[in-house]
Amino acid sequence: MKTRPNTTLLEVQDLHACYGKSHILQGVNFHVGEGEVVSLLGRNGSGRSTTLKAIMGLVPPTSGQVLLEGRDLVGERSYKICKSGVGYVPEEREIFANLTVDENLCMGQQPAHSGTPEWTVEKMFDYFPRLKERRNTKAGNLSGGEQQMLTMCRTLLGNPKVLLIDEPTEGLAPKVVTVVGEAIKDIHQRGVSIVLVEQKLAIALKVSSHVCVMGHGRIVFEGTPDELTGNSKLLTEWLAV
């Protein structure tokens, strides 16, 4: 069996969160080891996006802990959580529509935390040459896929220790899906730890070192991608595959 890294970067402990009276996260527990890609899988509405938002403080946790290198982030403002080294690529593409691609990328730049790779605008253009071609275009005029790439690049330029990515391939053309999948693999190989929410199981399995399946606001399974694919009952019950 593949062992997990000794060093834990991000640890989510018994996390609860609500929207009004709806108790959505009901004790989420998982961790991300240094250099791991951990996927959060599950059916629609299982609480995957809410988990990422709760880590970022965008939905305030009602109890539980989010430890980054042992330090609890719960209760901190989102921008501080971001500054501590947690990068977040939300499902909704977050771009500055009136600024150009280059200007959007500049907005994301932050000095590297020691130990994490220093990302550059040129590296972003290597991943996504399309963005280079459109570097002087206003971001609001980009296609949905290009906006998605731009959001991911801008977040990476903040040199996060751990990157949370919510459905990066949603609504993208198949060719672009492959490009994004390859970029995620490369980002991982360069040492960034990732929490990935991805609806396309094939992609999630390909890029993940560890997978967590969510159901009813909790983690109902965790293991290796092989352990998941070998468990047909689980796939049917929790992923409707």
Ligand X SMILES: Nc1ncnc2c1ncn2[C@@H]1O[C@H](COP(=O)(O)OP(=O)(O)OP(=O)(O)O)[C@@H](O)[C@H]1O
In order of 92, 157, 167, the CA distances from 145 in angstroms are: 11, 19, 12
162, with CB counted inside 10 A (0-12, 13-18, 19+), is buried
Query: Order of strands, edge to edge, in the sheet holding 22-33?
Result: 22-33, 8-19, 61-68, 71-72
- C-beta of 39 vs 49, nearer to Mg ion: 49
* Residue 55 binds: one of ligand X, Mg ion, none (C-beta under 5 to 8 A by kind): none
Residues 34-53 that bind Mg ion (CB under 5 A): 49
Instruction: Write down the least CB distance from residue 237 to Mg ion, Å.
Output: 20
- C-beta of 33 vs 57, nearer to Mg ion: 57
* Residue 19 binds: one of ligand X, Mg ion, none (C-beta under 5 to 8 A by kind): ligand X
Our CA angle for 231, 234, 240, nearest 5°, is 120
Instruction: Write down the least CB distance from residue 22 to ligand X, Å.
Output: 6
Instruction: Write down the least CB distance from residue 94 to ligand X, Å.
Output: 16
Among residues 172, 168, 104, 171, the alpha carbon closest in space to that of 138 is found at 104
Strand 22-33 with 8-19, pairing: antiparallel
Distance CA 96, CA 116 (A): 26
Which residue has its beta carbon closest to Mg ion?
49
* Residue 22 binds: one of Mg ion, ligand X, none (C-beta under 5 to 8 A by kind): ligand X
Strand 193-197 with 37-42, pairing: parallel
**Cβ contact 59:53 at 8 Å:** yes
Instruction: Write down the least CB distance from residue 220 to ligand X, Å.
Output: 13
- C-beta of 22 vs 114, nearer to ligand X: 22
- C-beta of 20 vs 174, nearer to ligand X: 20
Block residue for tokens 């834990």? 8
- C-beta of 49 vs 151, nearer to Mg ion: 49
According to DSSP, the residues that pair with 61 across neighbouring strands are 17
- C-beta of 42 vs 85, nearer to ligand X: 42
Token pair in block for residue 175:
């060719």
Instruction: Write down the least CB distance from residue 54 to ligand X, Å.
Output: 9
What residue ranges bind ligand X (CB under 6 A)? Answer: 19, 22, 24, 42, 44-50
Token pair in block for residue 88:
């977040």
- C-beta of 123 vs 216, nearer to Mg ion: 216
Instruction: Write down the least CB distance from residue 22 to Mg ion, Å.
Output: 15
Instruction: Write down the least CB distance from residue 181 to ligand X, Å.
Output: 19
Question: Helix, strand, or coil here: 198?
Answer: coil
* Residue 210 binds: one of Mg ion, ligand X, none (C-beta under 5 to 8 A by kind): none
* Residue 131 binds: one of ligand X, Mg ion, none (C-beta under 5 to 8 A by kind): none
The contact set with Mg ion (CB under 5 A) reads: 49
